[in-house]
């Protein structure tokens, strides 16, 4: 027998419970500019936010903006991000990302999902985090392994692919709560 999707009352109760427990849910990444959040989020793939927060202060002291990082020597960036794993690829990605920000956006982080998805190393999850957290622009719900697991346990989705889970969650949660909801889960 197929389980019915959660009703509106159940969704409201889940949101109320999450609001009570995590009223100000946001990223654990430490950042002070949209550029820093973007770079930290890209670096967070396959590692913990805690580890990224250990590495980024040195990275951002040396390369405080897209212009500085775009001019960086790859070997120097690699030595800083080495503790994160996949450091060669991550270093290459963030330097190329910075170059694209400089070339196409005057060093600024774009404010649309479409533009964000054109940047090296940026997928829907990263774009949704940066747009929602740095700019308050609700363009999606970031689906990581935790959001996937919890949303399935709560019966909010039966899907396994992050894109489909995101679509299911966006249909259930008011748009103004998308960024917060992903962090709260």
Catalytic residues: 125, 144
Query: HEC string of the chain?
Result: CCCCCCCHHHHHHHHHHHHHHCCCCCCCCCCCCHHHHHHHHHHCCCCCHHHHHHHHHHHHHHCCCHHHHHCCCHHHHHHHHHHHCCHHHHHHHHHHHHHHHHHHHCCCCCCCHHHHCCCCCCCHHHHHHHHHHHHCCCCCCCCCHHHHHHHHHCCCCCCCCHHHHHHHHHHHCCHHHHHHHHHHC
How many Å separate Cα 154 from the centre of its chain? 22
Per the CB < 8 A criterion, the answer to whether 122 and 128 are in contact is no
User: In 3D, which of 81, 79, 96, 76 has the Cα closest to residue 40?
Assistant: 81
């Amino acid at each position: 027998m197929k389980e019915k999707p959660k009703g509106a009352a159940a969704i409201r109760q889940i949101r109320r419970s999450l609001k009570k427990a995590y009223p100000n849910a946001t990223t654990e990444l430490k950042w002070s500019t949209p550029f820093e959040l973007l770079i930290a989020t890209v670096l967070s793939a396959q590692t913990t936010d805690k580890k990224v927060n250990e590495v980024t202060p040195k990275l951002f002291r040396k390369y405080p903006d897209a212009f500085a990082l775009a001019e960086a020597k790859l070997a120097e960036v690699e030595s800083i991000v080495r503790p994160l794993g996949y450091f060669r690829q991550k270093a290459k990605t963030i330097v190329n990302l910075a170059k694209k920000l400089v070339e196409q956006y005057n060093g600024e982080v774009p404010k649309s999902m479409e533009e964000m998805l054109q940047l090296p190393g940026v997928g829907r999850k990263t774009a949704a985090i940066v747009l929602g957290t740095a700019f308050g622009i609700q363009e999606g719900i970031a689906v990581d392994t935790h959001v996937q697991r919890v949303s399935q346990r709560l019966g909010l989705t039966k899907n396994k692919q992050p894109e489909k889970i995101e679509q299911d969650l966006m249909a259930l949660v008011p748009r103004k709560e998308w960024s917060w909801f992903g962090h709260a889960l």
